[in-house]
Structure 1
């Protein structure tokens, strides 16, 4: 049984509209939700960058049961003690309904601090320091640390009874294997099936625990040409893998390097179809790979028609379940 959730795209939809969409998604039968914490969109055409953490408080209050996750990059734009405090407060207010995925970040969000953009190996080392700091704070320890980040006598006074999972974000086998050393679960994005199979196997074979999450990008419209045009307009800046996706530092640059990306190239990164049965089949294939939670991201800026259509015609074709409470399996 698989959880099928709604991905709330702060880069594309104003926060109030996105909140209404999350409520509508729960009513339509989606049993989970997630978002990413971005300061900048991937394209000027996307045009938004709502603050994920304030939105999450509203979204958890406005919905009844669905858990929410957020993908965050501690260490540069955010001090890890602040992220620990945010995780602790949401976990205390909404037990079992919150999780955080932690990654090494992208320059488009992190450059705003003016501190320079470190090499990937340095970013990974910094992330691991942050994970250890966040976990220690959530355990109630007083933390002082001198390294790639500095902490002076930090202590969380408001903590959840059960620590939310800290999930690893990975788009490659190597990163998935590395995440297995510290994460309470894994999240990745849709890719060719063999690539996803290798990522799952790399995480599990390295001892990775917890739930496997997939963010599935899709474009649907009753008109096939409209579905293709929508995906090309909104998501052609997102077809570039690392290091381009890590290192470009503005929406303008992403638009520039994506000027000649074709609709066919976008369809390699986004499931594009007017056929709802085809979308259901694609989602079932992801579930068959072993993903416990599949988060559906319709790449259009208008979400209502997608939510209604998938709630009425796609989710009933799938074995949708409600997730167990989100609690860290191993507080390492």
Structure 2
């Protein structure tokens, strides 16, 4: 049976309000949550970017939800530091925290001043980081010299059980490669045939664990408002690789998205004023085999959406 969660977007909402929104999502009936991990927003119109790891401690302490985030080790985060952050949350909140790991985007990683590697090198670096994190979570002392370097690192407060490390993948090629190391897979909404290809690549490669999906949606009382919200907030997020991965600043995304139309945004965001339409779309995703679906209303005001989700969306999904 598919479980439904709330996505908290650090790029769009200040951390204090984002925490209140997550608490409201729990009251609305969402069973779990996840969040992004950005240093910068995708656009100056979004205008926020709180520090995920501080926020997660507060979120886990003030809700009963199981929570996770998507993060990128290797450049902005040294894998030993990231392993310590994960282990601390897992020690305080056993069984309630997971992380999905990916190769990241230049917009977040360029801040170190280091070279932004090509995708093949970033995949190699990610796999080294996964091995380092897993060894540290087992209590081992780690020294490693490769694309990342680690000198005699050891954690002294360990998670009671290994933190689930999911793979963040959008393409079948990335999903197939991640099957060798991941405890599950998370991706984003795409046309059904593309999602099937990602799932098949992961499972055919031996990938195990849950399949999770983040769904971008826009709801408002009128169709025009729902379209306006999606176009204002998410038109910087419609680009394929390598543009989505290699542009370095919000200014670059704002320039690149100046001519993006509402029709183009509708290819990346499920837009409708009709809650029943959203229910139908979400059921289609569940039918593809996703175990967990995280709903991301792309508006900055989450209040009306959460009220609608509580009365007109979640009850119909759980009945199904």
* Alpha carbons of structure 1 residues 41 and 93: separation in structure 2 relative to 1, 3 Å: same
Helix, strand or coil: the match of 2:213?
A: strand
1:56-75 map, 5 Å:
56-64=56-64, 66-75=65-74
Number of residue pairs aligned between Structure 1 and Structure 2: 320
User: 1:255: Cα distance to partner?
Assistant: 0.5
**Corresponding residue of 1:113:** 112
User: 1:241: Cα distance to partner?
Assistant: 1.1
Q: Distance in 1 between matches of 2:151 and 2:244?
A: 33
1:1-332 map, 5 Å:
1-64=1-64, 66-319=65-318
Q: Deviations over 1:124-159 (max 9, x none)?
A: 100000000000000110000001111000000001
Provide TM-score, normalisation by structure 2: 0.99
Q: Distance in 1 between matches of 2:184 and 2:111?
A: 29
Q: Distance in 1 between matches of 2:17 and 2:240?
A: 29
Helix, strand or coil: the match of 1:319?
A: helix
User: 1:320: Cα distance to partner?
Assistant: 7.0
Q: Deviations over 1:269-327 (max 9, x none)?
A: 00000000000010011000000000000000010111110111100001279xxxxxx
Q: Distance in 2 between matches of 1:316 and 1:257?
A: 39
Higher RCO (CA 8 Å, separation ≥ 6 residues): 1
* Alpha carbons of structure 1 residues 244 and 143: separation in structure 2 relative to 1, 3 Å: same
Is the CA contact 1:168–1:185 (under 8 Å) kept in the aligned structure 2?
yes
User: 1:93: Cα distance to partner?
Assistant: 0.6
Is the CA contact 1:74–1:83 (under 8 Å) kept in the aligned structure 2?
yes
Q: Distance in 2 between matches of 1:277 and 1:49?
A: 32
Is the CA contact 1:21–1:304 (under 8 Å) kept in the aligned structure 2?
yes
Q: Segments of 4+ in structure 1 off by > 6 A?
A: none
Q: Deviations over 1:190-235 (max 9, x none)?
A: 0001100111111111110111110000000011100001100000
Structure 2, unaligned stretches of length 5 or more? none
Q: Deviations over 1:72-101 (max 9, x none)?
A: 000000100001001101111111100000
Q: Distance in 2 between matches of 1:218 and 1:226?
A: 13
Q: What's the Cα RMSD here? A: 0.9
Is the CA contact 1:2–1:287 (under 8 Å) kept in the aligned structure 2?
yes
